[in-house]
Amino acid sequence: MKKITLTLALCLLVLSAAAQGPLIGLVCGHSSSGNNGVGDYYVQAVVKAGGVPVLVPTMFDKASAEEVVSKLDGILFTGGEDVDPAWYGEEINGAVDINGLRDTSEIYMINQAVQLGIPILGICRGCQVINVALGGTLVQDIPTQVKTKLKHKQSEPGTQASHYMTIEPGSHMASLLGVKKVKINSLHHEAVKTPAPGLKVVCLAEDGVVEGYEGLPFLNIVAVQFHPEKLIGGGDEFFLPIFKDLVERAKKFAE
Ligand code: MN
């Protein structure tokens, strides 16, 4: 019996030594019927990048939200509904589909992650809610509020790219992707208007709409308005470095 226990203990030791990927929290959407969920493309992209994905549900009280975040090595804020403009001191003027529970939960989580220095990646709504949590504002409706010929809500499937963005030379994003200009997918009607203090816009569509920002090195944040996980899921791994970067930052944080 003792021998079996010892063998088991050794097996567990070996197993825990073999587990190397950092724990990456994927923040779930919260449906009106009360279900937490996240698109599989996010999960698969994190796995491909070497992270260990774990789903983070909407948490209704601050202490619980903070405790969940404190267990993670990295956190990804995913796509979804519009953020309530009240968070940035504006009336509703173009924002639709507001999910107050999700806003509250995610703002607790962003503040906690920032306080602890936990690496953050924001995608689409994630890009918007992080900016709002840290004091920035949003364009509530691009088609009616920005002079543009671009369709930011593309008719092509999400796995296809539809418009270009330029990348600020010398930025972290430029070092990840190695290009100045690249075609991305576009599935949004809101965007960052004023970036929060500490966040630098580094990706722009040709009409000036914000497609990405970063807060490095002081804020451990990278965020994009487009959906790299869908392009990766569609078979194009050009944007996988964005996920690998989250995993690398999470490894560094976990050390
Ligand atoms: Mn766009």
Burial class for 180, CB neighbours closer than 10 Å (0-12, 13-18, 19+): exposed
DSSP state string for 39-58: -HHHHHHHHHTT-EEEEE--
Backbone angles phi, psi at 55, to 5 degrees: -80, 135
CA of 80 to the centre of ligand 1 (A): 15
The 10s digit of each residue's pLDDT in 222-232 is 999 999 999 99
In percent, how much of the chain has pLDDT > 90? 92
Measured between alpha carbons, how far is 132 from 196 in angstroms, rounded to an integer?
7
Measured between alpha carbons, how far is 49 from 68 in angstroms, rounded to an integer?
22
Return all residues near 84 (Cβ < 8 A) that are at least 6 apart.
Answer: 92, 95, 98, 100, 103
C-alpha count within 13 angstroms, C-beta hemisphere, residue 105? 20
Of 170, 177, 79, the residue nearest 121 (C-alpha): 79
Of 204, 85, 200, the residue nearest 148 (C-alpha): 204
pLDDT of residue 20: 79
Q: Lowest-confidence range among 1-10, 114-123, 148-157, 179-188?
A: 1-10
* Strand, coil or helix: 178: coil
CA of 210 to the centre of ligand 1 (A): 8
Of 27, 80, 23, 30, the residue nearest 56 (C-alpha): 27
How is residue 204 annotated by DSSP? E
CA of 191 to the centre of ligand 1 (A): 8
The 10s digit of each residue's pLDDT in 12-23 is 455 554 557 999
Q: pTM to 2 decimals?
A: 0.92
The 10s digit of each residue's pLDDT in 85-141 is 999 999 999 999 999 999 999 999 999 999 999 999 999 999 999 999 999 999 999
pLDDT of residue 6: 54
Residues labelled catalytic: 124, 227, 229
Measured between alpha carbons, how far is 200 from 212 in angstroms, rounded to an integer?
9
Measured between alpha carbons, how far is 157 from 227 in angstroms, rounded to an integer?
12
CA of 158 to the centre of ligand 1 (A): 12
CA of 211 to the centre of ligand 1 (A): 6
pLDDT of residue 251: 98
